[in-house]
């Protein structure tokens, strides 16, 4: 490659990075990653274009193609109908079942889909949209929770903007969608009464007010699909915001934290108490930088003394930094489910922020495992006492969270009180029991 070619390549790469950064700032990391994946698949499968004659004007894209490119994740599933089948099937439509995607929401979708398939005596199919499925990851999640699919499990990769990729569909198939965009992509292809939308967050909050926010809200207000909400708290939030369809028709459940997974673990003699920060800098709603400010101040002021505490950051894409100007925290990234549960089980105090009305899973993972957690308030989410007295809710402000950490340290080190609170913790402990009412209602509707 000549110097001229190298300079041209570097220029194009720099411009591409700038565009990606601008897109991330406007629409968030999730939307940016979807756009990159969809563009990669589009280019990979695109037919080679005919060379343009020298001097010919550049082709001008149509308005339709511009909209389709912007909302690539909404590209409809391409389906064909199978003849009448004796067997039934439940299909889950999700972005990915890669290891980094399995925490929280996707894991819950796999559990709900498996238990529903068992109730219907149906096969289970996993349809992924952004990367090919990894079957071993599903086996790992289900085995951790002791859940077994009774019939056959199938896997399918249906990337957006790939016209040649079609999937079969049964007339009686139940399709479980996992986000507003997978729901929007499924609606043109599947009868709405066959769709079950598992809604686990106010997904409008992923975006600034704009096209994404509007399209998301239109899906949330759909009155023809069945919607299942993760927690009563989230349902109450939507009802307070005027979503009469969710008030009148949506089902809800409380997530489960089985004791064989989330429990206190014994620690070696003389081991320091462990502090864990749930750190995801590219997920804005997790308030990474506010949490970092609070922890930095707590270390500088001696509230979290590194000589006393083992300080661990858990998450993804965590930058290296010094706390209080000196201390390097331990970073644990991209952990498997079992390793994560083991780490949380040996934790004494956590800081986990979520700038939305949902409690999120990490605070409940921590209290279910015997730890104290400091988290933030947001809207209708003012406290988590309904789950545990070891959950301390504060305003999402530096001073309030710093005070919450000081109180959290005192409670975490008061083993008698902390253990008493843990014994009376009120999180659900059994997934089949937690989901039973929802599954019966879904099965009754067919």
Residue 66 has pLDDT above 90, yes or no: yes
Average pLDDT, the chain: 90
Is there a shared CATH topology between the 74-256+433-445 domain and the 274-423 domain?
A: yes
Q: What's the whole-number mean pLDDT along residues 108-122?
A: 97
Domain 74-256+433-445 = CATH 3.30.70.140: no
Q: Helix/strand/coil (H, E, C) string of the chain?
A: CCHHHHHHHHHHHHHHHHHHHHHHHHHCHHHHHHHHHHHHHHHHHCCCCCCCCCCCCCCCCCHHHHHHHHCHHHCCCCEEECCCCCCEEEEEEECCCCHHHCCCHHHHHHHHHHHHHHHHCEEEEEEECCCCCCHHHHHHHHHHCCCCCCCCEEEEECCCCCCCCCEEECCCCEEEECCHHHHHHHCCCCCHHHEEEEECCCHHHHCCCCHHHHHHHHHHCCCCCEEEEECHHHHHHHHHCCCHHHHHHCEEECCECCCCCCCCCCCCCCCCCEEEEEECCCCHHHCHHHHHHHHHHHHHCCCCCCCCCEEEEEECCCCCCCECCCECCEEEECCCHHHHHHHHHCCCEEECCCCCCCCCHHHHHHHHCCCEEEEECECCECCCCCCCCCEEEECCCHHHHHHHHHHHHHHHHCHHHHHHHHHCCCCECCHHHHHHHHHHHHHHHC
Measured CA to CA in angstroms, residue 312 lies from 247, 309, 348, 360, 367 at distances of 40, 9, 11, 19, 17
Phi, psi of 31 (to 5 degrees): -65, -40
281 and 313 in contact (C-beta within 8 Å)?
A: no
Residue 7 has pLDDT above 60, yes or no: no
Q: Which residues on adjacent β-strands are paired with residue 315?
A: 279, 333
Q: What's the whole-number mean pLDDT along residues 112-135?
A: 96
Residue 37 has pLDDT above 50, yes or no: yes
Residue 213 has pLDDT above 50, yes or no: yes
Q: What's the whole-number mean pLDDT along residues 56-66?
A: 85
- How sure is the predictor about 41, in pLDDT bands with cuts at 50, 70 and 90? very low
What distance in Å separates the CA atoms of residue 363 and residue 352, rounded to the nearest whole number?
6
Higher pLDDT, 212 or 14: 212
217-267 pLDDT, tens digit per residue, is: 999 999 999 999 999 999 999 999 999 999 999 999 999 999 999 999 999
257 and 359 in contact (C-beta within 8 Å)?
A: no
Phi, psi of 254 (to 5 degrees): -105, 135
Query: What whole-number percentage of the chain has pLDDT above 90?
Result: 80
- How sure is the predictor about 19, in pLDDT bands with cuts at 50, 70 and 90? low
Residue 2 has pLDDT above 60, yes or no: no
Residue 47 has pLDDT above 60, yes or no: no
- How sure is the predictor about 59, in pLDDT bands with cuts at 50, 70 and 90? confident
- Out of 3.90.1200.10, 3.40.50.2000, 3.20.20.70, 3.90.1150.10, the CATH code matching 274-423 is 3.40.50.2000
Q: Report the candidate in 33, 339, 425 with the shortest Cα–Cα distance to residue 206.
A: 33
- Cα 369 to its chain centre, rounded Å, is 21
What distance in Å separates the CA atoms of residue 206 and residue 35, rounded to the nearest whole number?
15
Q: Report the candidate in 305, 324, 321 with the shortest Cα–Cα distance to residue 313.
A: 321
34 and 95 in contact (C-beta within 8 Å)?
A: yes
Q: Taking the domains of the chain in order of start, what are their residue ranges?
A: 74-256+433-445, 274-423
391 and 385 in contact (C-beta within 8 Å)?
A: yes
Q: Hey, CA dihedral for 229, 232, 234, 235, is it positive or negative?
A: positive
Residues 6+ apart with CB under 8 A from 429: 256, 257, 258, 259, 368
Query: What whole-number percentage of the chain has pLDDT above 70?
Result: 87
What distance in Å separates the CA atoms of residue 107 and residue 95, rounded to the nearest whole number?
12
Please state the length of the chain: 446
366 and 405 in contact (C-beta within 8 Å)?
A: no
Higher pLDDT, 322 or 56: 322
Q: What's the whole-number mean pLDDT along residues 269-285?
A: 96
- How sure is the predictor about 313, in pLDDT bands with cuts at 50, 70 and 90? very high
153 and 182 in contact (C-beta within 8 Å)?
A: no
Q: Which two tokens stand for residue 382?
A: 């003012």
């Amino acid at each position: 490659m000549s110097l001229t070619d190298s300079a041209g390549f570097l220029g194009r790469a720099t411009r591409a990075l700038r565009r990606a950064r601008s897109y991330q700032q406007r629409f968030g990391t999730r939307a940016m990653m979807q756009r990159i994946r969809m563009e990669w698949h589009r280019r990979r499968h695109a037919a080679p274009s005919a060379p343009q004659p020298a001097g010919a004007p550049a082709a001008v894209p149509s308005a339709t193609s511009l909209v389709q490119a912007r909302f690539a994740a909404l590209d409809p599933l391409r389906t064909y109908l199978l003849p009448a089948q004796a067997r039934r099937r439940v299909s889950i439509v999700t972005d990915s079942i890669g290891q980094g995607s399995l925490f929280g929401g996707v894991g819950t979708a796999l559990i709900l889909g498996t238990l529903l398939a068992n109730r219907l005596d149906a096969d289970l199919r996993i349809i992924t949209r952004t990367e090919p499925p990894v079957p071993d990851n599903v086996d790992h999640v289900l085995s951790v929770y002791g859940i077994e699919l009774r019939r056959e499990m199938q896997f399918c990769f249906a990337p957006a903007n790939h016209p040649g990729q079609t999937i079969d569909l049964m007339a009686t198939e139940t399709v479980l969608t996992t986000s507003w965009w997978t729901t929007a992509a499924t609606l043109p292809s599947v009868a709405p009464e066959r769709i079950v939308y598992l809604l686990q967050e106010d997904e409008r909050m992923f975006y600034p007010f704009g096209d994404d926010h509007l399209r998301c809200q239109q899906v949330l207000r759909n009155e023809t699909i069945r919607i299942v909400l993760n927690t009563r708290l989230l349902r109450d939030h939507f009802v307070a915001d005027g979503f009469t369809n969710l008030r009148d028709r949506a089902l809800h459940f409380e997530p489960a934290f089985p004791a064989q997974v989330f429990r206190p673990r014994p620690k070696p003699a003389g081991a320091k108490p462990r502090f864990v920060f749930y750190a995801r800098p590219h997920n804005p709603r997790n308030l990474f930088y506010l949490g970092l400010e609070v922890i930095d101040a707590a270390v500088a002021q001696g509230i979290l003394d590194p000589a006393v505490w083992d300080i661990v950051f858990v998450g993804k894409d965590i930058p290296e930094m010094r706390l209080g100007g000196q201390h390097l925290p331990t970073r644990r990234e991209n952990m498997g489910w079992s390793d994560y549960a083991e780490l949380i089980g040996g934790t004494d105090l956590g800081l986990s922020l979520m700038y939305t009305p949902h409690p999120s899973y990490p605070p409940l993972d921590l209290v279910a495992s015997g730890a104290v957690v400091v988290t933030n308030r947001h809207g209708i989410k003012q406290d988590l006492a309904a789950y545990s007295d070891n959950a301390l809710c504060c305003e999402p402000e530096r001073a309030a969270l710093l005070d919450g950490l000081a109180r959290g340290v005192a409670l975490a080190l008061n083993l008698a009180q902390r253990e008493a609170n843990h014994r009376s913790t009120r999180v659900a402990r059994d997934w089949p029991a937690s989901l039973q009412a929802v599954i019966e209602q879904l099965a009754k509707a067919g």
